Chains A and B, each alone.
Chain A
């Protein structure tokens, strides 16, 4: 039994934490929050690029560090703790994983080194309107190497240089790689509840596009596999945020006095924080299992990823809202960081499929397994 990260991976975590606590402070996050023109914090982004983390799970032959998925999970958790206002997840969790999973050898050789060294920023463009994504809801169309349609919202869509875009393709769907700085693409920044990660509406009007991989019509099933991989990584990012919320709430509950004693001495607060702790540990254990399934390409990945995602979305949501509640009126001010976590928790919970979508995926996976 070795259900834990290795000493090397824990060392990486400690180093990443030290680095980010110094280089990605609340002030760095707030710079993006308070400036509508800023899509991300480029100072932080360049430092992260220099660390080579974008290539943690990209093989050395494609310009990465060739560490592995577990190392990327470790980094994801640390980025989540500090609410890193950078397009890391879009580029490393979704764009790079899409290419690793479905790209041809030529596509891997073309794109992965550029993701790893930060010379391009990738994102995933799937959503077109309200409601869960399905094959029938996709209106963007690919034809003869061009793409037309509108994706909205695209997380990190206005900082990204390239997108993996889900589009109709004949009677099926396909994923296409599109450069976003061409004439056939227009972008508009969107106002969202989470301004520290930028979002765009992207219009494709006959944009030049290359299909990811060679098979046609299987876009949704490829996307499903990409989502399973991204879900585990996002779960770690969520877990980092949820853990930080519990720390913030606990610290505040020890310091803040009311009625002559710390508010953390009252059971209403103690039990609330204990509830957060329990949800966070459930999320952590499920995330570890997802990490194991991801790193070993286990057959259990669909249910492991879904469980990790469901647990982490619940944990971060609960921790972020009860962190505000524990802070009382202070928690509802712009200056205290509680709302930053509340905002990020909701983005990460609905990006890549809402909890309801993942619960359904989980139960479907359990049904498929028990039927066998």
Chain B
């Protein structure tokens, strides 16, 4: 056992790190959102693409590096040490464009892949709906064939980056008279066209990082279909499989931050706090070290085991618990989120309000536990009363 890179990995890490320090500032705290963030993101994406760092595992023919998954992990680790504006491209390049590559025509690939890779066009993913979250195959946005076009009507929700996206992949119902998974079709959609109405969601946390997207008689040419009509669910599974390996840091304050605060505020003598701190450390280490196990498999060229499925179940609850305890440690004063007053720049208060969303986004705690139970442990699927009946019957 060791935690060191192989010779090749070390060489790649050094190359990546040298490149990054030429172009970016080391990160202090959270990534900076200041200035024209979107433009900075586009500029950085272009620089990465020009130097074959944009998509490490993509083949060279389409602008990738032809590298290994382990090299992508190393790149992500190194890039996360710098103040890199990567957010706007994560979903497009991580999920949408790979779907276009897998199911699109040669014309699609020629038209879209390079522009996305070089940061000229941004993509979003339009799956979730107000009545179709965990059960996304129950979505209602419909597409009706009209000549060589399809006409789309309906509503999507929780669409990250829809307001600045140029294109999206959208999953819609094209046949309501078959069981729900069999009546779906995937399309490429031009987000700037008439009939697409993007409205920001005012989140419970106060911010607006997500959108609702309304479609009113939006026309999509049949040539922008990805996969056969009715095959949309299979296409969507490929999209979701392409979610990039989560290798980033923790999404907010962790045991070290609350320990720093406890020391500065004289709370380290509280025995109950010390016991909780130990639990948080064990959970955080468990998560971090489990990723090392996954990386070990990648490094050996093996398929990682199912152990990485524990990630978000741990981190989201962990974050919520730490923030809650930090606020309670501050007693009445803990209610203040004004950075002029709140300790630690109010990171605990901010993440406290963000944590409920983290437990839902990208699969709720409950859905993730279902996935572990069904796919890892092999337990029976939940009862699905709508499984074999036409969608229109419900």
Q: CB within 8 Å of B: which residues of A?
A: 1-5, 70, 246, 250, 253-254, 261-262, 264-265, 267, 269-271, 273-275, 277-278, 281-286, 288-289, 291-292, 295-296, 303, 306-307, 310-311, 314, 356, 358-360, 362-363, 366-367, 370
Contacts and interface: CB of A to CB of B under 8 A. Distances in A.
Given A3-B296, A265-B379, A277-B376, A286 B289 contact: yes
A307 B285 contact: yes
Given A1-B4, A3-B289, A282-B314, A265 B383 contact: yes
B277 interface: yes
A250 B378 CA distance: 8
Contacts of A283: 286
B313 A278 contact: yes
A359 B9 CA distance: 36
13 contacts: A2-B4, A4-B296, A264-B373, A264-B379, A267-B369, A267-B382, A270-B373, A281-B307, A282-B290, A285-B288, A359-B274, A362-B282, A366-B277
A153 B81 CA distance: 52
Interface string B206-227: 0000000000000000000000
Nearest to B288: A285
Nearest to B255: A366
A307 B259 contact: no
Given A264-B380, A363-B274, A366-B281, A2 B369 contact: no
Residue among A70, A264, A281 with most chain B CB within 10 A: A281
Contacts of B3: 1-3, 292
Nearest to B380: A265
Contacts of B380: 254, 261-262, 264-265
Interface string B364-393: 001011101110111111110000000000
B5 interface: yes
Interface string B289-303: 110110111010000
A271 B369 contact: yes
Contacts of A265: 379-383
A288 B1 contact: yes
B353 interface: no
B38 interface: no
Nearest to B73: A1
Given A264-B373, A310-B278, 16 more contacts: A1-B70, A2-B2, A3-B292, A70-B1, A254-B380, A270-B377, A271-B366, A271-B369, A273-B377, A274-B373, A281-B286, A282-B286, A284-B290, A285-B289, A292-B2, A363-B274
Interface in B1-57: 1-5, 9
Contacts, number: 155
A283 to B, nearest CB: 7
B292 A359 contact: no
B169 to A, nearest CB: 30
Interface string B264-289: 00001000001101110111011111
A274 B377 contact: yes
B371 to A, nearest CB: 8
A307 B310 contact: no
A269 B274 CA distance: 32
Interface residues of B, number: 49
Interface of B: 1-5, 9, 70, 259, 263, 268, 274-275, 277-279, 281-283, 285-290, 292-293, 295-297, 299, 307, 310, 313-314, 366, 368-370, 372-374, 376-383
Contacts of A1: 2-5, 9, 70, 292, 295-296, 299
A275 to B, nearest CB: 7
B12 to A, nearest CB: 12
Contacts of A370: 259, 263
B159 to A, nearest CB: 28
B372 A278 contact: yes
A100 B149 CA distance: 79
Contacts of A2: 1-4, 296, 299
B289 A288 contact: yes
Which A-B residue pairs are the 10 nearest by beta carbons? A282-B286, A270-B373, A359-B278, A285-B289, A265-B380, A274-B369, A264-B379, A274-B372, A3-B292, A292-B1
B290 A285 contact: yes
Contacts of B4: 1-2
B209 to A, nearest CB: 27
B1 A291 contact: yes
A360 B274 contact: yes
Given A254-B378, A261-B380, A281-B286, A310 B279 contact: yes
A358 to B, nearest CB: 8
A273 B379 contact: yes
Nearest to B260: A370
B366 A285 contact: no
Contacts of A282: 282-283, 286-287, 290, 310, 314
A359 B279 contact: yes
A325 to B, nearest CB: 15
- Best-surrounded residue of B286, B292, B368, B380 (most CB of chain A within 10 A): B286
Contacts of A362: 278, 281-282
B314 A363 contact: no
Contact of B1 (A246, A250, A275, A295): A295
A245 to B, nearest CB: 13
A341 to B, nearest CB: 18
Contacts of A262: 379-380
